[in-house]
Amino acid sequence: MLNAAIVGATGYTGRELVGKLARHPKIQPTVLISEQRAGVPFSEVHPEFRGWLDQALEPLIPDRVAKCDVIFSALPHGISMTKVPEFVGTGQPVIDLSGDFRLNQASLYPQWYGYEHRAPALLASAAYGLPEINRAHIVDSSLVANPGCYPTSVLLALKPLLAENRVDPDRVLIDAKSGVSGAGRSPQLPLHFPECTENFRAYKVVSHQHLPEMEQELQKIAGAPVTLTFTPHLVPMIRGIFSTLYVELLQPMEEDDVWSLYQEHYEEEPFIRLVSAPALPETKHVQNTNFCDLSLRVDPRSGRLIIFSVIDNLGKGAAGQAIQNMNLMMGWPETCGLEGILNHGTDDD
């Protein structure tokens, strides 16, 4: 068994990584880093692991991390970029789950993330970690920037259409919803239970940090600039992303022809499930999995195409995708450790 280090192991994403890696057949979570909880058993922070993962959390000691075969950085935005260069310097594969290495231009970080980038030299070499779009680059990379949860749902929904020049790249509307775990584990008043429950609200309208990430990667697919209208919403549930996209077809298409296009692009993808009419995707159908469920409808009245994309924000939107990327970097089957529906056993919410 190889060994993995998880830096930032006590957050929701770190916890998800630990649980999935503990059931991986080729690697185990050996070094669990938490500066704030160092010395405390991991199972004390997350009691569902009691009797299974009782090892103590550790402070960040470079020599300990360097001895592991893979390094996952699940640190917050803005902090990860101060540590990742050191992790890359160990020569071990590094997968960063923050937004710090997703954007190609350092100049975008002050506007969208609110800070200057402190490791701009790594931006050009980091592979954007969406396997269904960037598999070849991931395989050859030593640093992978794990995509955001919203971008994962949006990019997978639009790839077949933009790659085949079937839709207007300047008229894409995205209405997206996320569970509360997407905001992280640190307490915040807007995420307090009485504030969230029995409520539904939009947030970060026209200013969400995932917007430039989506436009950047979609432009690579389309070979031309892509302009999105993106509105995220907070839903009072723990986990899940549901994105509904409205696009303008450049030429009329029958719904069966659109389905054929998606099947052509995704028939070999193990984690893409096309949901045929009359069924539609639901967040509960992807919970605790690494699947992205896609469906679509052509509106004959307006001529618009409506696409539905659903993922688990902690699965395909974070930890599951990170493991999928690790498998590619290590030369293992892409599905290794991610098979099945409830693929993390007792590690549930």
142-152 tens-digit pLDDT: 999 999 999 99
Domains and CATH numbers, the chain: 2-147+315-330 (3.40.50.720), 150-311 (3.30.360.10)
pLDDT by residue (tens digit) across 170-193?
A: 999 999 999 876 655 565 656 656
pLDDT by residue (tens digit) across 101-115?
A: 999 999 999 999 999
What's the pLDDT band for 326 if we cut at 50, 70, 90?
very high
Secondary structure class of 178 (helix, strand, coil): strand
Active site residues: 149
- Per the structure block, which two tokens stand in for 95? 């997968």
CA distance 297 to 246: 10
Q: Maximum CA pair distance of the chain?
A: 63
Secondary structure class of 33 (helix, strand, coil): strand
CA 292 to chain centre: 11
Average pLDDT over residues 328-332: 97
DSSP 300-337: TTT-EEEEEEEE-TTIIIIIHHHHHHHHHHHT--TTTT
Q: What pLDDT is stored for residue 237 in this prediction?
A: 86
pLDDT by residue (tens digit) across 88-103?
A: 999 999 999 999 999 9
Category of 291 on φ-ψ map: left (φ > 0), alpha (ψ -120 to 50) or beta = beta
